[in-house]
Amino acid sequence: MSQELGDAELTRPGAPPTTVRLALPTGRRVAFVAAGLVAALVVLGILAAVVRTAGWVFPGSEGLVALFHLDSEFNVPSIASVLGLTACGALLLLTGACLRARDLPDATRWRWLGLGFVLLAFDEGARIHERANTVVNELGISLAALRFGWVILGAVAVLALLPIYLPAVLRMPADLRLLAILSAALYVGGAVGVEIVGGLLYDRGTDDPLYQGAVLVEETGEMAGIALFFATLWSWWRRIAPRTELLHA
């Protein structure tokens, strides 16, 4: 007959040690789930854009647009991006800790990048980069072709970080290295590259099909890049520390 132990019994002197073991999913399974979530958000985002652009009205149409329109703030896609960036930041911090525990290189770089991803998540939630447009324009460094001046700051940040983190990326396992580079290309290409195209199309109106198409490509690239990077980091962490123990300090 099973016997339940209370807190007093578990913590009494001489009590037998207990170990809690969690079965963590494989990198492939994590990638599959992440891809499914991104695909679902993209499909719902397309449906919301079509409903908004066509002006269709049916029960729940207003809620559909409010919850899933990719060019809106504080809805399901934006929250998913915030959570995804935060999760990547947490995995980067964990990976950096595991690298340091094994005296492997680049531990400090990955931990700093983890903090950077946490800041990116905060920026995504608070939309600080969009509010930076006014500051950039006031400095007079925006280009006439760019409506969203913050992309200049984004491009400068990417170029500044490239020589710092490229050597660390090249030291990753070959297969994971390619996935990391692809995820960075998807995210930066969407967040900066396609954002420029969206700025050029903005004056056509936010309901213009071309502008909506640019928003779809941009947001899909960002979400896909985050999801792929998370799955890549998950697989890398499992290789670095195939058996991880969490100990109370």
- List b or e across 135-152, with b for residues whose CB sees 16 or more CB atoms inside 10 angstroms: ebeeeeebeeebbbbbbb
Report the distance separating Cα 133 and Cα 39, nearest Å: 30
Alpha-carbon distance of 200 to 126, in angstroms, equals: 24
Among candidates 122, 120, 153, 160, which has minimal Cα distance to 136? 153
Q: Quick one: pLDDT at residue 162?
A: 92
User: CA 218 from chain center: how many Å?
Assistant: 13
- 38-47, 102-111, 139-148, 240-249: which has the minimum mean pLDDT? 139-148
Mean pLDDT confidence for 81-93: 96
Q: Could you tell me if 95 and 233 are in contact, meaning their C-beta atoms sit under 8 angstroms apart?
A: yes
| pLDDT tens-digit series, residues 141-157 | 555 445 666 777 778 88
Q: What is the pTM of this model?
A: 0.85
Which distant-in-sequence residues (6+ apart) come within 8 Å of 197 by Cβ? Answer: 214
Nearest to 128 by CA among 112, 150, 146: 150
Question: What is residue 183's three-state secondary structure?
Answer: helix
Q: Identify the CA nearest to 221 among candidates 202, 242, 194, 249.
A: 194
Across 8-21, average pLDDT: 60
Question: How is residue 193 annotated by DSSP?
Answer: I
For residue 65, the Cα-to-chain-centroid distance in whole angstroms is 22
Q: What is the mean pLDDT of residues 185-210?
A: 81
**Cα distance between residue 151 and residue 184, in whole Å:** 16
Query: Quick check: 75 pLDDT over 80?
Result: yes
What is the dihedral sign for C-alpha 241, 177, 39, 41? positive
